[in-house]
Chains A and B, each alone.
Chain A
Amino acid sequence: MAPIVSIDRLTKTYGNGFEALKGIDLDIEEGEILALLGPNGAGKTTLISIICGLVNPGSGKVMVAGHDVVKDFRATRALIGLVPQELTTDMFETVWNTVSFSRGVHGKKPDPALIESILKDLSLWEKKDNTLRELSGGMKRRVLIAKALAHEPKILFLDEPTAGVDVNLRREMWQVVERLRENGVTIILTTHYIEEAEEIADRVGVINGGRLLLVEEKRALMQKLGRKQLRLELSEPLTALPDSLALYNLTLADDGTALVHEYQGEEGQGSIASLLATLAAEDIHFRDLSTRQSSLEDIFVALVGEKA
């Protein structure tokens, strides 16, 4: 299937000469949840803004559902919903009016029943007649999500959706995201919280300094780059490693009471079995065994630290 968003050698230099994007290539598949992970200033918002039409692209091309975002902006923007990073709201408007406005400005006929169900899903129904200035920050964030969904987009961009958001709203937000995904909506979110990407994304893109360092399936990424550790608690402490174990990447820990085996995700598959067999042959017994996998955060630090 053709990607729903296709970005080809996209660059952006702002008016002040700052090069915010330095050649981004990225295909986003229909129906997936993609997390763009990167520190502040990496260029995440710039990238999203170009796809959504808020910022003019420099060179390169962005296609959404086969349409060019500049030449064919009506077709592309009709498909896209955007929840911006900043909490920007019309202070004097009511929740109902501002969400209905969003639908209208996207060229769709009024649909009160739909707006009602969106507001209910986001626990905003009781507040529908309140003006936005009467709402808390978390409530405003919900309103921004409701506005982005009012025209039933096929692609939803969430720019740092959980910045300054409490646990409840976070959970509700992921429920909404999950429901949207079940309905086939493609979701792209940016974050600099690794747990967030780890929690819900199918694929993770790491962006830093205007470059996309990698895009991988989350599981593949963890496997490929995630260092794993096998730890064996020995029944009897060892003073030195037997020669037969020299082949394995092993260290003795805690005064010889534990044996630690470090391996990369993929190579581990063969080595562990033979390690255990060798240990049995050497008559080394263990009482317990545990494994630890490095998180996306470790991966991220390693990547950004290396290439930044």
Chain B
Amino acid sequence: MNFEAIKSIYTFEMARMQRTLLQSVISPVITTSLYFIVFGTAIGSRIQTIEGVSYGSFITPGLIMLTLLTQCIGNGSIGIYFPKFTGTIYEILSAPVAMTEILVGYVGAAATKGLIIGLIILATASFFVEISIAHPVMMVVFLVLTAVTFSLFGFIIGIWAKNFEQLNIVPMLVVPPLTFLGGSFYSIDMLPPFWQAVSHFNPVLYLVSGFRWSFYEIADVNPLISLGMIGLFLAICLSVLGWIFKTGYRLRS
């Protein structure tokens, strides 16, 4: 193992992110605050509680997930896309590092930053609503697994993308609808049966549901199934990456 290389890539990435930390923290914090003000006050005054939890508290796990997914996919993809775009990737590809080590460096940094921002959102939320965490260990497990899985997913997008448009299309066009339709802002019990069935094809539903369970012990699906689904998605990302590294897809001609 080339630990020195992993450390270099990781610290390099963290330093890069630090330069943009302010904007990457401020924007989700403002957005989250707006959600609480608009959804929490406007809608929350009509929907008082969902399954015994106040509406503001109910939406907090979903909001954290929304930010975590967007951040991890964004950071995971730009981390590898940018050197590909500028050409500096030659250095990493000609260094004595295995692709898995490159992956650990980039994905580790992207997941770390996602987690930091996720926790900042959690702290922000606690100013607006009452938060209780029933299963802190499981909460951390869900958080870390999701961060790693979606940073890996971002890494795949970063390798696949040939231009900035392709790079942005997934985080901008796919993640928000999946999160909104994944029960972040409501319990899917509130939907008509047909849409409930459709929702079960949405991977984000399982993330949000499992994560919310670790807070309030209420869930749309069994938390173990949630965990299994994250594990499945993680396995899919790892096998795609295995194939990419074996073939050199869009990295080595």
Contacts and interface: CB of A to CB of B under 8 A. Distances in A.
B93 A54 contact: yes
Contact of B96 (A54, A77, A91): A77
B90 A82 contact: yes
B88 A77 contact: no
A104 B253 contact: no
A102 B91 contact: yes
Contacts of A102: 91
Contact of B252 (A54, A77, A82, A92): A54
Contacts of A193: none
Contacts, number: 74
Nearest to A103: B8
A107 B8 CA distance: 9
B135 interface: no
Contact of A92 (B2, B8, B16, B95): B16
Nearest to A88: B87
B92 interface: yes
Contact of A53 (B5, B9, B93): B93
B9 A105 contact: yes
B96 A73 contact: yes
Interface in B62-114: 83, 86-88, 90-98
A104 B94 contact: no
B15 interface: yes
B8 A74 contact: no
A195 to B, nearest CB: 27
Contact of A101 (B2, B12, B87, B253): B12
Interface in B1-58: 2, 4-5, 7-9, 12, 15-16, 19
B248 interface: yes
Interface residues of B, number: 26
Give the bracket for the number of chain A residues in contact with chain B: 20 to 34
Interface string A10-26: 00001100000000000
Nearest to B4: A107
A3 to B, nearest CB: 20
Nearest to B20: A92
Contacts of A107: 2, 4-5, 95-97
Contact of B88 (A15, A89, A108): A89
Contact of B94 (A15, A74, A82): A82
A120 B91 CA distance: 22
Instruction: Please report whether the interface of chain B is mostly helix, strand, loop or mixed according to DSSP.
Output: helix
B96 A78 contact: yes
Contacts of B4: 104-105, 107-109
A229 interface: no
B87 A54 contact: no
Contacts of A105: 4-5, 8-9, 91-92, 95, 97
Given A54-B252, A92-B19, A101 B8 contact: yes
Nearest to A46: B253
B90 A56 contact: no
A109 B96 CA distance: 14
A75 B98 CA distance: 12
Interface in A65-118: 73-78, 80, 82, 84, 86, 88-92, 97, 101-109
B231 to A, nearest CB: 31
Interface centre among B5, B98, B252, B253 (most CB of A within 10 A): B253
Contacts of B252: 53-56
Interface centre among A53, A74, A90, A105 (most CB of B within 10 A): A105
A291 to B, nearest CB: 46
Contact of A88 (B88, B94, B95): B88
A107 B87 CA distance: 21
A55 B94 CA distance: 9
A52 interface: yes
A147 interface: yes
A104 B8 contact: yes
Interface centre among B87, B93, B95 (most CB of A within 10 A): B95
19 contacts: A14-B253, A53-B252, A54-B90, A54-B93, A74-B98, A76-B96, A82-B91, A86-B87, A88-B87, A89-B88, A91-B86, A103-B8, A104-B4, A105-B4, A105-B95, A106-B95, A107-B96, A108-B4, A109-B4
Given A54-B93, A104-B7, 14 more contacts: A53-B252, A54-B94, A54-B252, A55-B253, A56-B252, A73-B96, A74-B2, A84-B90, A90-B88, A91-B86, A92-B16, A101-B12, A106-B96, A107-B2
The list of the 10 closest CB pairs from A to B, nearest first, reads: A104-B8, A88-B87, A77-B96, A74-B96, A52-B94, A107-B2, A78-B96, A105-B95, A107-B4, A105-B5
